[in-house]
Amino acid sequence: MDYLISDTDDKFSKKKVKVLITVKTYPLPSKTYQETVCTAGVKEDGTWIRLYPVSFRYLPYSQQYKKYQWIELEVVKHEKDPRNESYKPYGEIKILGQIGTQNNWEERKRYVLKHIQPSLELLKEKSKGGVSLGVIKPKEILDFTVEPVSGEWKDKWQALFKQLKLFGEQQKPLEKIPYKFSYRFTCCGENCAGHKIMIEDWEIYALYRNMLKTYGSKDKAIEKVTEQYLHRFPKEKDLYFFMGTTRKDHHRGTFVIIGVFWPKKEI
């Protein structure tokens, strides 16, 4: 009965969307797509969309979008991904204008903060219905932690890198950052017992790498990252977190911080 379904009614048909990119996570190896980045953003009505998979570093340079850039592309709903907002990019990505930080991020706020979730507890509740992205306001930042993790990718990824190299497909192996960064905070939920959640934003890893390059010492780089996330951000910025679930852990309602939104505090 396919003929009865028009293009616009079919949930899985291709459609064109305009997205303001707000999230780029650090690339992870993936068996099917070499390496993938979770990119997400909001549409003009402030609702969220995840573009997955995107082999970001392998996109032609002209299609490598930045945060807070509007892009236009065709997408198809992921059939196997249980997360409502997951769409697969299709064809070329057209890059439109970027929104700047004028008037303390006024225009960014207009789109990004249109739908703030009252609490992480509520967002977790909604994840049972497939919701997998959202913005929350932390009430209080309690701590920022840096924990060492392996500096090597798992054996199965190492093997894959080698294999890809043989076929000349992998230009430069992805650098594994030997730390994980987390925030401990309370959200605005009435019964909030506090959360400790990992930050998977590309920005924090980039900051670490830059600081390591500048100071040549891991300890100093960690000190600088901590200074920004634990001291400067809570003191000077009006913080919001972009939260997202991973496909693997979506059914558990496990959210990670996939982006930090940080306009200045307005007094």
Q: Quick one: 53 or 189, whose CB is closer to Zn ion?
A: 189
Minimum CB separation from Zn ion for residue 118, in Å? 10
Alpha-carbon span 157 to 154, nearest angstrom: 5
Closest to 27 measured CA to CA, from 38, 18, 19, 17: 38
| Six-digit token string for 223 | 């000190």
Q: Dihedrals φ, ψ of 92, to 5°?
A: -75, 150
Give the CA angle between residues 239, 126, 72 to the nearest 5°.
65
Q: Quick one: 89 or 189, whose CB is closer to Zn ion?
A: 189
Q: Quick one: 102 or 191, whose CB is closer to Zn ion?
A: 191
Q: Quick one: 17 or 192, whose CB is closer to Zn ion?
A: 192
Alpha-carbon span 47 to 135, nearest angstrom: 10
Minimum CB separation from Zn ion for residue 189, in Å? 4
| Six-digit token string for 86 | 């997951």
CB-nearest residue to Zn ion: 192
Half-sphere exposure for 115 (CA within 13 Å, toward CB): 13
Minimum CB separation from Zn ion for residue 47, in Å? 23
Minimum CB separation from Zn ion for residue 188, in Å? 7
Minimum CB separation from Zn ion for residue 140, in Å? 10
Q: Quick one: 40 or 123, whose CB is closer to Zn ion?
A: 123
Alpha-carbon span 79 to 211, nearest angstrom: 41
Minimum CB separation from Zn ion for residue 138, in Å? 9
Q: Could you tell me which residues come within 8 angstroms of residue 118 by beta carbon, excluding any fewer than 6 positions away?
A: 188, 189
Q: Residue numbers of the site for Zn ion (CB under 5 A)?
A: 120, 187, 189, 192
Q: How far apart are the first and last CA of the chain?
A: 60
Minimum CB separation from Zn ion for residue 234, in Å? 16
Q: Quick one: 189 or 244, whose CB is closer to Zn ion?
A: 189
177 — alpha (psi -120 to 50), left (phi > 0) or beta?
beta
Q: Quick one: 30 or 186, whose CB is closer to Zn ion?
A: 186
Amino acid at 80: K
